Amino acid sequence: MNELENTLIKFGLTDTEAKIYLTGLNFKNIGVSELTKQTGINRTTIYHALDTLTEKGLVAKTGTGARLVFSMADPENIHNLLLGKIKRLEKQKEDLDNLIPLLKKSNLAAGTISVAHYEGIEGIKLAIEDAYYCKSKHWDIIAPIKNFFSDFDKTYSKYFIETRSRRGLTSRSLWEPTEKHKLLTPQQIKERNPKILPPIMHGKFNSVICLYDDKVLIISSLKEKSAILIKSADLHQTMLAIFEGLWSVSKPITTK
């Protein structure tokens, strides 16, 4: 499978559809027999793939019977395919926004203590999803310079920032110093409300701690790939007291 096929698969085509579409682009019109010869894919599978490509607006057919031929649509149509995928994902996000509060109502009763351990990248993402839907819509965060969000895939970092903004989440953030902080926009400063931890904390920890509602979320470094979510009003209150102490001796970030 070549790079072009991989890219088309990311945009929503199957591997078979991608191979047929790319092969067909080399011909003004092409029949099933020629597609079979060029790709090595059997006729039944090709007919099915051509039908699905037609539904996606990437193939047009002319003629009938033995004279039936197919032409591949302009690659610009892939853009429309991607837009359709984005719209479907946005609708799914909207449905999820409405569903999560309903599911949370059926969660553990207030006052119950629970500990959940999440393993791997997808596990960490799942733990963070819980934080997006906190009732308070506010986080108190302690984070080192190098952490899961800074070291992981930039696409997810963008999703993280966009989702917390879309959810209207505010925070108080305690960070280690870095020159990048001076480049924050006024809007980012308003949303994250950051301060720089006192020197005694610099370089002493690797995990992100996020406090919200009655929960404590601890996210390991990318190296360890794990997260722990603790639901406990007592522990949350204890960690919040520690946070308040650090907040009182931390310095606001100055920007250019």
Tokens coding 165? 């903004």
Assigned CATH topology for domain 3-79: Arc Repressor Mutant, subunit A (1.10.10)
Provide the whole-model pTM.
Answer: 0.57
The per-residue DSSP string of 35-66 comes to HHHHH---HHHHHHHHHHHHHTTSEEEES-GG
Residue from 252, 21, 10, 239 nearest 139 by CA:
239
Does residue 173 come out as left (phi exceeding 0), alpha (psi in the -120 to 50 range) or beta? beta
How are beta strands 170-175 and 138-143 bridged, if at all?
A: parallel
What are the tens digits of pLDDT across the range 152-198?
777 887 888 888 888 889 999 999 988 777 777 777 777 788 999 99
What are the tens digits of pLDDT across the range 84-101?
777 777 888 787 777 777
Spatial distance between the Cα atoms of 98 and 116, rounded to a whole number of angstroms: 24
Question: Residue 28 corresponds to which amino acid?
Answer: K
What are the tens digits of pLDDT across the range 188-224?
777 788 999 999 999 899 999 999 999 999 999 888 8
Question: Residue 215 corresponds to which amino acid?
Answer: K
What are the sequence ranges of the domains in the chain?
3-79, 111-252
Q: Does the fold of domain 111-252 match that of domain 3-79?
A: no
pLDDT of the residue at 79: 76
What are the tens digits of pLDDT across the range 30-70?
999 999 999 999 999 999 999 988 888 889 888 766 678 89
Architecture of the domain spanning 111-252? 2-Layer Sandwich (3.30)
Tokens coding 212? 């919200």
Residue from 244, 225, 213 nearest 114 by CA:
213
Spatial distance between the Cα atoms of 45 and 41, rounded to a whole number of angstroms: 7
Residue 118's φ and ψ, nearest 5 degrees, are -110, 130
Spatial distance between the Cα atoms of 151 and 147, rounded to a whole number of angstroms: 6
